[in-house]
Amino acid sequence: MSNEYNLSDKYLDFLEHDAQVEFLEGTTAAGKTTVGITKFMLKVAESPKKMHVIAAKTTGVAEKNIINKEYGIKDVFGDSVKYNGNGDKDDKIPHIRYTTPNGDKIIYILGYDNRDKWEMVLGSQFGCVLIDEINTASIDFVREISTRNDYLMGTLNPDDPNLQVYSEFINCSRPLEKYKKDVPKEIQEQLNSEEKPNWTYWFFSFYDNASLSEEDIEKKKLSAPKGTKLYKNKILGLRGRATGLIFSNFERKNNVITKEKAKKFKFIQFTAGLDTAYSQESPDTFAFTFSGITSNKELVVLDEEVYNNKDLDIPLAPSDIAPKFFKFLEKNRQDWGFARDVFIDCADQATIMELKKFKRTNPCIYNFINSYKKITIIDRIHLMLGWLNTNNKIFYYVLDTCVEHIRELEVYSWKDDKYEPEDANDHTINSSQYAWIPFRKMIGDYKEE
């Protein structure tokens, strides 16, 4: 090994910790891949099995980031490893031959970008598997190989929390109690999938990298402008799409508040919106939102309810939505105040008809009104961007209980090929927009274009 690599107490605990599955997430320059490689190789040496796997986007990426880099496998383990990038006479697949006290081990090097190649290997059971940047891997590959190992390690950089790899794998792990405080609140809330026994989550920052000086850390922190997605991902280690995010100036610490704080505001207008989606084949949701506007021209999203027919054995029909929406409005009338006029997606006349029928046949004090869509989606986005934060002036808040609205604000993105939002992750956003459009002149520094 070329130079001594300093290890923090946290990394020493990581090396000693015994788990079946481990996920390593965090900031840039945290050293997680470097230390992860060391633990992986030690686990391989201890394993009774001969065959193991390292997977990266391509074999070239694995060579660059894991095998040949400083403090990589060849640097740390020296003569005990031999890398055969083109295979050898006994095994045509790229692999490492690793000499250990428990006998020679074979570590296959796979690129998960090529299904044909990784399918050739996955007919066997393996001892240890390392998936580099598991957040970018094919979900089919992760599902397949996760059933074929004794020990799995996945390293990842913060990415779109809506990816299936989070809900199916990463969010099933939990941090050790000792290090729970190191996990950002935003990520801790997302570790909410069914917990799997002996699956451990690790969050590492550059403060855990004992090889970095304070000066090094400050240089890293200054490398990305505050408030950008790059800063959130790389410096804070928070999840979220790195590019294309629409509400990049949404910050939980600035825009998310408690109910107790909202109760201190003076509200002068309440409003509500309803966005619908009856498909059983998509993740689209019915979204109810209830909002208030304050005397200081602030919009506060106070409550939400979401339903998805894909998750229901008996799908909801327009006749089911009407009483549910009425009950939602009544709950918030008692908790916050009266929203006389409420706004429903004008494209869904079936639901509007059911709501008006409900009003004729039940005691109901609400006016169900078609949403006004002459304010274009782009114009709505521009208004919200200004309200979220402009020159440290904030006019848009969300209660911390509105978890779906917060999630959408953190992942709603532009299409890659045009200045147009993707048709996804926008149902509470649309619902809340229907509600505030008629009252937009009461919010922020509104100026009619």
Provide the pLDDT for residue 122: 73
Residue 282's pLDDT is: 47
Same domain for 324 and 225: no
Same structural domain, 100 and 31: yes
Co-location of 257 and 354 in the same domain: yes
Structural domain of 330: 252-442
Encode pLDDT of 266-321 as tens digits: 999 999 999 987 544 545 578 999 999 999 999 999 999 998 876 666 778 888 89
Q: Could you give phi then psi for residue 53, rounded to 5 degrees?
A: -140, 135
Contact 112, 122 (CB under 8 A): no
In the listed set 182, 210, 235, which residue is the last one of a domain according to the structure?
Answer: 235
Do 217 and 324 fall within a single domain? Answer: no
Check whether residue 201 and residue 321 sit in a common domain: no
What stretch of H or E contains 358?
helix 349-361
Residue showing tokens 């937009």: 440
Judge whether 415 lies within some domain. yes
Instruction: Give the pLDDT score at 4.
Output: 65
C-beta atoms surrounding 314 within 10 Å: 7
Residue 280's pLDDT is: 46
Report how far apart, in Å, the C-alpha atoms of 88 and of each of 50, 92, 167, 234, 284 are.
17, 6, 39, 39, 50
d(CA 331, CA 51): 59
Is 316 a member of any domain? Answer: yes
User: Which of 203, 235, 267 corresponds to the end of one domain?
Assistant: 235
pTM of the model: 0.67
CATH classification at residue 180: 3.40.50.300
Q: Is residue 270 part of a domain?
A: yes
Q: Cα–Cα distances in Å, from 34 out to 30, 73, 134? A: 9, 9, 16
Whether residues 231 and 279 share a domain: the answer is no
Task: Determine the Cα–Cα distance for residues 103 and 85; give it in Å rounded to an integer.
Answer: 21
Q: Which of 192, 188, 156 is nearest to 172 (CA)?
A: 192
Nearest of 98, 56, 95 to residue 77 by alpha carbon: 98
Contact yes or no for 399/262 (Cβ under 8 A): yes
The domain that holds 396 is classified in CATH as: 3.30.420.280
The string of pLDDT tens digits covering residues 336-381 is 999 999 999 998 898 999 999 999 999 999 999 999 988 999 999 9
**Phi/psi of residue 338, each to 5°?**
-90, 125
Which residues are CB-neighbours of 66 under 8 A, at least 6 positions away? 33, 37, 54, 56, 72, 73, 130, 132
Q: 10-residue block means of pLDDT along the chain (449 residues)?
A: 73 96 95 95 96 95 95 94 91 93 94 83 88 94 93 91 92 96 89 96 94 89 75 82 78 94 98 79 75 97 89 77 96 98 92 94 95 91 93 94 92 79 89 97 78
Same structural domain for residues 301 and 152? no
163 and 278 inside one domain: no
Please report which residue ranges of 132-200 form alpha helices under DSSP H: 139-145, 164-168, 185-190
Beta bridge partners of 29: none
> Strand pairing partners for 291?
271, 301
pLDDT value of residue 2: 44
Q: Are residues 231 and 284 both part of a single domain? A: no
CA distance 94 to 84: 6
Structural domain count of the chain: 2
- Domain check: are 79 and 210 in the same one? yes
Closest to 198 (Cα-Cα) out of 135, 150, 163: 150
Burial of 207 per CB tally in 10 Å (0-12, 13-18, 19+): middle
- Domain for residue 247, yes or no? no
Provide φ and ψ at 301, rounded to 5°: -80, 110
Extended beta strands in 101-206, E state: 103-111, 128-131, 151-155, 199-204
CB atoms within 10 A of CB 157: 20
Residues 6+ apart with CB under 8 A from 67: 73, 74, 83, 96, 109
Residue 290 lies in a domain: yes
Q: Say whether both 215 and 294 belong to one domain.
A: no
Beta bridge partners of 131: 55, 154
Q: Is residue 243 part of a domain?
A: no
Establish if 81 belongs to a structural domain.
yes
Q: Is residue 448 part of a domain?
A: no
Question: Which one of 235, 265, 293 terminates a domain?
Answer: 235
Torsion of CA 359, 405, 170, 413, to 10 degrees: 120
Same domain, 143 and 292: no
383: closest CA among 320, 337, 304, 446?
A: 446
Burial of residue 89 (CB within 10 Å: 0-12, 13-18, 19+) is exposed
